[in-house]
Structure formats: C-alpha cells, structure tokens
Amino acid sequence: MVFLVFLVSLFVLLATGIPIAFVIMLTAIVMLGYMGFDDTMMLTQQMVDGASNYILTAIPFFILAGEIMHHGGISKRLVDFAQMLVGRARGGLGYATILASMLFAGLSGVALADVSALGSILIPMMVEAGYRKDRSTGLVCASSLMAPIIPPSLPLIVLGVTVELSIGRLFMAGIFPGIFLGISLMVVWWFVVRKDGYAQAESVPKEKVRAIVINALPALMMPIIIVVGIRLGFFTPTEGGAVASVYALFVSLLFYRELPLNKLIGVLYSAAKTTSTIMFIVATAYSVGWLVTIGQVPQQIISLFKDMIAHPTLLLLMLNVMLLLLGMVMDLTPIILIFAPVVFPLIRAAHIDPYYFSIIMVLNLCIGLLTPPVGTVLYLGCSVSQLKFGQLLRGIAPFLLMELFVLILFIIFPQLITVPLSYLG
C-alpha cells in the first residue's frame, strides 16, 4: 500500500506542473503522514544527509568544468578536429557532428551541455552547407545522448551514489556502449545522406591540418587524463572532477585565451545555479528513498515480480518498458534518485550484473530526453535552432529509432556491455 501511495501522490503532484524538487518533497510529506510519523524534521535530516555525500561533490566540479569548456573555446576546437578527420566523406559534416559529440561527451557528462555547446556551432554550419535544419538539429540532439554514457557521466555518478556502486567501474562500463551508440548513429546518417540527397564533402585544406591538431590536443587530453587517472587509482572520481575543472581553466585561460577573467564570474554563477538545482533534487529524493526503504517498498516490488526473477531477459524488458514510460513524463535525475533504490534489489535478486543494468537504465532514461511531453533535450534543440517541436520530431525520428534499437540489442545481448567491462574494469 505504501508503494501505491508513493506512486499516486508522485504523479498527481507532477500533473500540477510545480517544479520537480517540490513535487518530490511534497511526496515525501504525504508518505510521512501515511506511515504515521509526525516529525517533519526527520525529512530535513534525511535531506541534509543525502546532500552531504562526499562522492556527490564530483557533480559541481564536472558542471564547472563543462561551463568553462563551453565558454573557453574548447568545443570549437573539437568541431574543427572532427571535421578534419571525417569531413571528406559524403555528408561529412554529419559524421563530424557525431564524432564531435563523442569527443565532447568525454568532457561534459551532460546531454544538455552537449546540445548547447555544439548545437550553436554545428547547426548553423550544417544549414549553411545545405542540410535540412530539422535533420541537422535532430542529429545534434540524438548525438548528445552519448554524454551521459561516456565517462565522466553525471547521471552515472548520481546512480552510483544512490545504489552504492563503484563510480570508477561505472565509468569503465560506459566507454564501449557510448562508442557503439556513436557508430550506430553514423550508420543511420549513411542512409540519411543518400535519402536526403546530400552530395558535398566538407574537406579541410592540408595546410590547416597541423594547426587544427595542435589546437585540439589540450582538449583531447582531458578525457584521457580523467579516465586513465581514475582507472589507475591516481585520484577518485571526485578528485577527477576537481582536476577537470583546474585543467579546463588552465587550457581556456592560458592556451586558447578565449575566457577573459571578467567573464569568469558569470561562468561560476551559471555552474553554481545548475549545481544548486541538481543538489536540491538529490536532497529531496534522498528523503523519499529513505521512506521507500523503511516502508519495505523494494521487498513489495520483488514479491510483485517474483515470477519473473527466473527469467532475466523478460524482467529486463518489463523494467525497460516501465522506465521508457517514466522517461516520457519525468526528467532523468529524479527517476534515478527515486526509482533506482526500488528497482536494484529486484535486479540483484535476478542475478543481473548491476553495472550492466546501470548502463541500460541510463541509456533508457536518456531516450526519454528525446521524447514528448518532457523531452528537455528536444526543447533545448528547438530553442537553439528556432524550430517548432513537431518539425524537430520529424528530423530526429530515424536517429531516435536507432537508439531504441541499440537499447534492445543491449538487453538481448548483455555481452556487448559485460565483455568490454571485463577487460576495462
């Protein structure tokens, strides 16, 4: 009954349109009253405890690093480097978009940052070169889903903290699936190029190659430093976030020199604003998670799905349908914080690798960022490109279908994730 109260209060409050953090907090109050507790200070204490987790300090560091890179000229260098590598192919600017998103994913960890930083550069370039605006924006938005998969990934940090998994191992688990997703989008683009009739190639003069490579090297080194440093134990994920921030600041100020000191206050303010929003959601969701735990909701879920525990693939399909539906009406971070503690006991009971399922869950919820009615990445794409929502939906359709196909592939063939992880992790 506690689970029913939880779901009803959550979705009724969501329907009111109030901010998600307040929805979660009010849901916790409703559950507290139903369970017979009259001391609301218990929720306050749980919120403080939830936001005080040491590993969560990685979030503001990586957000700050992303803001610095966005304003410091790093995204432009990555676009130039990607275009140099694949721009000669037919429809080369599209391949360059996917590759640039893959490279930027290793820097930002957030899909919205990917669309904001690269979309403002690549969408006008593609439209000027003769590509359809809806198709160009759709490609940028779809490619941004690599950011929450390829390390460093903020959703994986949140998930790891929520269900007590190793952040470093989660990062390693995301490397191959993220690259696989990028290659899959390139396959779709190959067909789109021929269907839409794009014939031109965007080549880079040979005399500019050396300068482009030299300019891109500092940006390309950052994900290598972070991933290798965490993998070899030189620093923790939290310390890796601090290293990323300092490195991004150093490169932007001293190497590219595109981030004036007088703009640094604005960058810090933007990072602090984003961080406070995320941490408020984390704190409120932690209180709900505590109530869900003491209300024995995970045990109720395991009892509900007990007949499926012996059939892991069927269980995965059912859970993924549920996550897809949730992703259509809620944003990624709140779903992880609220539902991961409910779902993961079931995953462990079915003897499914939790690191494998973590990648499945994050990819699934990322697809929700591209689907109405919430679709935060879609709305940002419309804002960047000045397209109507329906136009962007038509442009993104083939890429979204491919990402759903990749999700199904990962469910049916878990070895696509677990085997590379066995070598990397």
What percent of the chain shows pLDDT beyond 70?
97
Average pLDDT over residues 36-60: 77
pLDDT tens-digit map of 222-277: 878 887 887 777 887 778 888 888 888 888 888 888 878 778 888 888 888 888 88
Region 182-202: mean pLDDT is: 85
Comparing 191-195, 215-219, 227-231, 246-250, the range with the smallest average pLDDT is: 227-231
Q: Are the C-beta atoms of residues 112 and 145 closer than 8 Å to each other?
A: no
Q: How far is CA 56 from CA 51, 156, 161, in A?
A: 7, 11, 7
Query: What is the domain extent for residue 172?
Result: 2-424
For the chain, percent of residues with pLDDT exceeding 90? 20
* pLDDT of 139 strictly over 90: yes
pLDDT in tens, 286-340: 787 788 777 777 777 777 777 788 888 888 998 999 888 888 877 788 888 888 8
Whether 204 shows a pLDDT value over 90: the answer reads no
What one-character DSSP code corresponds to residue 371? Answer: S
In this prediction, residue 186 has a pLDDT band, given cuts at 50, 70 and 90, of very high
In this structure, what DSSP letter does residue 295 have? Answer: T
* 3 half-sphere exposure, CB direction, 13 A CA radius: 14
Does pLDDT of 383 surpass 90?
no
Identify the three-state secondary structure at position 375: coil
Pick from 15-19, 149-153, 364-368, 412-416: least confident: 15-19
Name residue, tokens 């290293």.
243
pLDDT tens string 118-127? 888 888 888 8
Structure confidence at residue 140 (pLDDT): 92
- Whole-model pTM? 0.84
And the tokens for 166? 């190793």
Closest CA to 226 of 153, 119, 162: 153
| pLDDT value at residue 8 | 84
Instruction: Give pLDDT, residue 234.
Output: 83
Higher pLDDT, 145 or 5: 145
> How much is the average pLDDT of 117-140?
86
Compute how many other C-beta atoms are within 10 angstroms of the C-beta atom of residue 296: 13
State the pLDDT confidence band at 200, using cuts at 50, 70 and 90. low
Contact 333, 281 (CB under 8 A): yes
| pLDDT score at 188 | 95
Number of structural domains found in the chain: 1
Give the chain's mean pLDDT.
Answer: 84
Task: Please state, as a whole number, how many other Cβ atoms lie within 10 Å of the Cβ of residue 303.
Answer: 10
Average pLDDT in the 145-155 region? 88
Task: Please give the helix or strand (H or E) that residue 214 lies within, else none.
Answer: helix 206-231
> Which tokens sit at 377?
């990445």
Q: Residue 256 burial (CB < 10 Å; 0-12/13-18/19+)?
A: middle
Q: How confident is the model over 169-189, as a mean pLDDT?
A: 93
- Predicted pLDDT at 212: 86
Report the pLDDT value the prediction gives residue 170, as an integer from 0 to 100: 92
pLDDT at 356: 96
Helix (H) or strand (E) holding 18: none
- Residue 90: beta bridge partners? 201
Look at residue 162 in the predicted model and tell me its pLDDT: 87
What gap in Å lies between CA 410 and CA 414, rounded to an integer? 5
**Residue 56 pLDDT exceeds 70:** yes
Amino acid at 3: F
d(CA 96, CA 6) in angstroms, rounded, equals 45
Name the more confident of 149 and 92: 149
Buried b (16+ CB within 10 A) or exposed e, 3-38: bebbeebbeebbeeeeebbebbbbbbebbbebeeee
Separation CA 412–CA 404 (nearest Å):
13
> What percent helix, strand, coil does the chain show, rounded to 5?
80, 0, 20
Q: List the structure tokens of 28.
A: 């916790």
Question: pLDDT by residue (tens digit) across 328-375?
Answer: 877 788 888 888 888 898 899 889 999 999 999 999 999 988 887 667
Measured CA to CA, the distance from residue 233 to residue 168 in angstroms comes to: 9
Alpha carbon distance 138, 340 (integer Å): 29
pLDDT of residue 108 exceeding 70: no
Cα separation, 63 vs 272, whole angstroms:
8
Please measure the distance between the N-terminal and C-terminal CA atoms of the chain and give it in whole angstroms.
40
Return d(Cα 321, Cα 336) in angstroms, integer. Answer: 15
Q: Residue 187: is its pLDDT beyond 80?
A: yes
